[in-house]
Amino acid sequence: MATTSEKLPFKRVHIIGIGGAGMSGIALVLHERGIVVTGSDLKSSRYVRELEAAGIEVHVGHEAATVDAVRPDVVVVSTAIPETNPEVVRARELGIEVWPRAKMLPALSLGHTTVAVSGTHGKTTTSSMVTTMLDRMGLDPSFLIGGFVEGYDTNAHSGRSQYYVAESDESDGSFLYFDPTVAVVTNIEADHLDHYGTIENLEKTFGQFMDSVGPEGHVVACGESERVRRVAAASSANVVLYGMAGEGEFDYVCTPEPSHHSIESHLVVTTPSGVAVRVTIKANPGRHNMLNATAAIAVADVLGLDVEKAAKALSTFAGVKRRFTHVADIDGITVVDDYGHHPTEVAATLSAAAGLDYDRVVVVFQPHRYSRTQALSEQFGGAFDNADVLYVMDIFSAGEMPIPGISGKTVAAAVERLGHDVEVRYVPNRRELTAALVRDVRPGDLLVTMGAGDVTLVGPAFVEAKREADSERA
């Protein structure tokens, strides 16, 4: 099993763009396996600070001289790093191998029983659930996840067991580098079409991902997705389907149970052998997360683990940061933050929010990427139907160039045109947004900030401004 540096073909690794969620995780796992890791990024961040606290040298800024100073055996880059980056240019001049992130991920999984979790939505939560479940069963898995798992305060760890859990990214096809024992597919929807071109190409690539498990592996797939079922039916892999009771014929059936705690979800998962186990989700409420929990139990079962013990272990899951994460309570207002940025994610999260005991659901949404906003503008129209009030910010570009005529107003207009009973306000100015929230959000409301960009700063800014306003009135 490849758990030590002697099993890897290098001793020193330099990571360009080390501050990203995925890249920082790779850095931590390499560091824990005894590799000398250095890195660079344009600015400091929470991920960078965590790496520095672990003893990893991080350079702020990209300079060719850094490569000369650290002299790595291999340089790792993400898809966001161009060939013109001075450190990439210098590495190639020196004859140092430059690996894409996608090549390093499977290198770390060699010799392990690998669970690779993919899908348009839910992969971070599902991979976090599987990780928590295995860990609380005493199995100490290695893991690389695109979010901080509550209770661990990290997104990566090099464990001592045979198990390796990875959130495998379909956005650029890099999940095909994996050779998983179990491949989880939570759903397949039209996203990342800037890379794939067509939904047919996306489905074809997911089919290749399913086939990658080989004859002795398993695919755990959500049978509620028509596209997933179609792709799974054409796969040569051993496929098991999961879904809600009454929604179709599934191998693993989820039956929700009544909950007396608004933030919790209770469910029973029935396996193909007829064993029924109870699971409690203490955080991240909603139907979609019950399905994610069902996928985790299915993973345990196909791995040959005790599903009763797995259910008890999974019930300790405390959530994932930025997945309906509690920010604060102030003046009778509850503030939560969520990463949802695709219409399906938004709709699922707000469906869960609507089922909680609040007078109104007030949403602040920040669209992510101009291309995504343009491609999915019509779908956003009905995604906020479970909100009472919607504030739309301007687009978080994620490095994209603006597209003429596409802005946060595009989403606001779609909701006004296609949504039902939603009060919509387009507020691109941050200061005006905070002032509007302080003025309009009232006791009994649930305030949800949503998006994949820096909208996460809005909740704390609102809380601070609210306290200041209360202090002035006092």
Catalytic residues: 123-124, 167
Rounded Cα–Cα distance for residues 330 and 459 (Å): 11
Pairwise CA distance, residues 455 & 436, whole Å = 15
**Cα–Cα separations (whole angstroms), residue 54 to 28, 51, 57, 59, 195:** 8, 5, 9, 15, 35
- Listing DSSP states for 51-72 in one string gives HHHTT-EEEES--HHHHHHH--
CA-CA distances (angstroms) from residue 122 to 117, 188, 339, 344?
9, 11, 11, 10
Flag whether 123 is marked binding. Answer: yes
Alpha-carbon distance of 365 to 394, in angstroms, equals 9
**How many C-beta atoms surround the C-beta of residue 42 within 10 A?**
10
Check the annotation: does 119 bind a ligand: yes
d(CA 264, CA 282): 5
Question: How many angstroms separate the CA atoms of 208 and 237, rounded?
Answer: 10
410 is in an annotated binding site: no
Is 124 annotated as contributing to ligand binding? yes
Buried b (16+ CB within 10 A) or exposed e, 337-375: bbbbbbbbbbbbbbebbeeeebeebbbbbbbbbbbbbeb
Cα radius of gyration (the chain): 22
Question: Which candidate, 453, 452, 472, 441, places its Cα nearest to that of 463?
Answer: 441
- Residues annotated within the binding site are 119-125
- Residues annotated within the binding site for ATP are 119-125
